[in-house]
């Protein structure tokens, strides 16, 4: 009995924290919007919203979603509907990828470049100096996975667009499957698929060739199989979780947050009832999570004959996360890159400078509490209030468009419409309302999670809490929040159905009271 009380208390506490975060986000998103300028420079500004108007748009959007779900449910089975939306997502993603075939930039450029070089046995990127993998050596696991893809399918960047598009379709499918296994409400399933189809940042991210989308699919696959294990108790499901989640972490290191979320849920479950398979799962996960990056580094050291640099120290990211910059509070501002090059890659000096920077910022925050509050408010808002989640700013055109043929002119027109024209305004409006919808109705779901005390409902919410805390300490950008937001879609769908049911029950009971009153008279 005592164990169950502790387990329930932990579950309730996690659900309550999640509810508070969703409540804050709901209030903020109704009152303001974080917007990038029309030239897509990474310099956010904030626009105050008409809250009443946002609420009216939310109501209309919700009614449309409910009618759409009801209509489609009467016309087509959920399995066929999911397949149609997956095909739509793949084709839309591929079309956008074709439109946006441009210079690859940012981290994706460096990852692809190094993977291509390694295929040619060119390991100069590992040399000491101003080399990407010498400074950011943690990216070598992503390079390794990209090198495997290139080895299997060829070095054409277009192969990566296909992988990205397939990942988008797979993400939509896994969101549906997770609803199927933990909520099992047919209306919630339809609404989840509809909302996934309307999540345009998911489509736009196809042009950001990185590990984000494949990692998201693998995380959802891990979560689904973990939930399946709790029902079926087949050990091989945990093996799938271990490998899919570890590959997701190799793609994007931040995905370790989902393991920590699973770990928290496993601990809650073990407190209530011991399961040796779950204990073995934790040890297996930790073992592979530690050894796989080491094996990859060892492989490259043998192949290249070079020692892999430890890279920039993690404390530099914490220091940078406390700094202002020419973009926004806590954003990447070249701090760790600059001090690495300025100090000739001396780790001791880099760590010391970072510690001094942290101490200096703590002193500033202590002496200016109002500024500290403003800084962290801006750091929070710039992550959670951008409806695009940087999906347009990180894929914006980087070179002058070519003209001449009819096809090129059509392509240019479409690109201009998506990024600058009337279509852009319509898409932005839909993304904004969808963002409001997800935050508010996920808040409604969180109330149910508090009452139900089911730890399986909290795998993604705990990850959301962990991700929020991590990026308030670490580097901050809305693109890092994007996966957490997409994973909230099933809960928002459930929240809408719960709200609809509550309103229906209230109206029915109201009319019954009226009828009873009339009969009494």
* pLDDT at res. 156: 79
CB neighbours of 266 closer than 8 A, spacing ≥ 6? Answer: 278, 281, 282
- The rounded distance, in Å, linking the Cα atoms of 335 and 279 is 41
How far apart (Å, rounded) are the C-alpha atoms in residues 49 and 131? 44
What are the tens digits of pLDDT across the range 395-447? Answer: 887 765 556 677 777 778 888 899 999 999 999 999 999 999 999 999 999 99
CA dist 117 → 111, 133, 144, 157, 164 (Å): 10, 12, 11, 14, 21
pLDDT for the residue numbered 404: 63
Helix (H, G, I), strand (E, B) or coil at 475: coil
pTM confidence score: 0.94
Residues 24-42 have pLDDT tens digits of 999 999 999 999 887 777 7
Instruction: Give the pLDDT confidence score for residue 490 in this predicted structure.
Output: 97
Q: What number of other Cβ atoms are within 10 A of residue 235's Cβ?
A: 11
Task: Using 50 as the pLDDT threshold, list the residues of the chain that sit under it.
Answer: 519-521
Q: What is the pLDDT of residues 92-150, one digit of tens each?
A: 999 999 888 766 777 888 999 999 999 999 999 999 888 899 999 999 999 999 999 99
pLDDT value at residue 520: 47
CB neighbour burial string for 471-484, b if at least 16 within 10 angstroms, e if fewer: beebbbbbbbbbbb
């Amino acid at each position: 009995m005592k164990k169950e009380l502790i387990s329930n208390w932990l579950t309730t506490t996690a659900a309550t924290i999640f509810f508070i975060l969703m409540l804050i986000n709901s209030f903020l998103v109704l009152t303001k919007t974080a917007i990038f300028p029309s030239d897509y420079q990474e310099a956010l500004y904030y626009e105050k919203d008409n809250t009443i108007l946002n609420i009216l748009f939310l109501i209309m959007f919700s009614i449309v979603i409910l009618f759409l779900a009801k209509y489609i449910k009467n016309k087509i089975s959920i399995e066929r509907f999911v397949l149609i939306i997956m095909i739509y997502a793949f084709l839309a993603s591929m079309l956008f990828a074709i439109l946006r075939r441009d210079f690859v930039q940012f981290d994706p450029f460096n990852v692809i470049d190094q993977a291509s070089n390694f295929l040619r046995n060119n390991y100069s990127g590992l040399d000491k100096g101003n080399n990407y993998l010498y400074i950011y050596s943690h990216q070598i696991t992503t390079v390794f996975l990209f090198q495997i893809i290139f080895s299997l399918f060829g070095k054409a960047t277009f192969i990566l667009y296909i992988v990205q598009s397939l990942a988008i379709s797979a993400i939509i499918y896994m969101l549906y499957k997770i609803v199927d296994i933990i909520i099992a409400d047919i209306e919630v399933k339809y609404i989840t698929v509809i909302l996934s189809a309307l999540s345009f940042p998911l489509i736009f991210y196809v042009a950001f060739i990185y590990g984000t989308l494949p990692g998201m699919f693998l995380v959802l696959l891990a979560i689904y199989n973990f939930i399946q294990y709790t029902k079926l108790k087949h050990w091989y499901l945990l093996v799938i979780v271990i490998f899919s989640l570890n590959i997701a972490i190799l793609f994007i290191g931040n995905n370790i947050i989902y393991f920590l979320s699973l770990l928290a849920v496993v601990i809650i479950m073990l407190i209530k009832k011991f399961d040796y398979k779950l204990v073995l799962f934790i040890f297996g996960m930790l073992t592979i999570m530690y050894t796989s990056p080491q094996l990859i580094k060892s492989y490259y050291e043998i192949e290249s004959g070079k020692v892999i640099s430890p890279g920039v120290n993690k404390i530099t990211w914490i220091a940078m996360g406390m700094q202002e910059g020419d973009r926004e509070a806590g954003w990447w501002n070249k701090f760790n890159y600059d001090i690495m090059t300025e100090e000739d890659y001396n780790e001791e000096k880099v760590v010391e400078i970072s510690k001094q920077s942290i101490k200096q910022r703590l002193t500033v925050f202590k002496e200016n509490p109002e500024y500290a509050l403003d800084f962290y408010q801006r750091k929070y808002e710039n992550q959670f209030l951008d409806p695009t989640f940087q999906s347009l700013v990180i894929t914006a055109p980087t070179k002058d468009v070519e003209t001449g043929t009819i096809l090129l002119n059509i392509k240019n027109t479409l690109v201009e419409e998506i990024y600058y024209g009337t279509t852009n305004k319509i898409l932005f409006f839909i993304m904004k309302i969808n963002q409001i919808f997800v935050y508010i109705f996920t808040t409604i779901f969180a109330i149910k999670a508090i009452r139900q005390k089911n730890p399986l409902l909290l795998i993604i919410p705990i990850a959301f809490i962990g991700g929020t805390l991590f990026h308030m300490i670490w580097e901050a950008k809305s693109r890092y929040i994007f996966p957490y937001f997409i994973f909230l879609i099933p809960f928002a769908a459930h929240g809408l159905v719960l709200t609809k049911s509550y309103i229906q029950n209230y109206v029915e009971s109201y009319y019954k009271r009226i009828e009873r009153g009339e009969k009494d008279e």
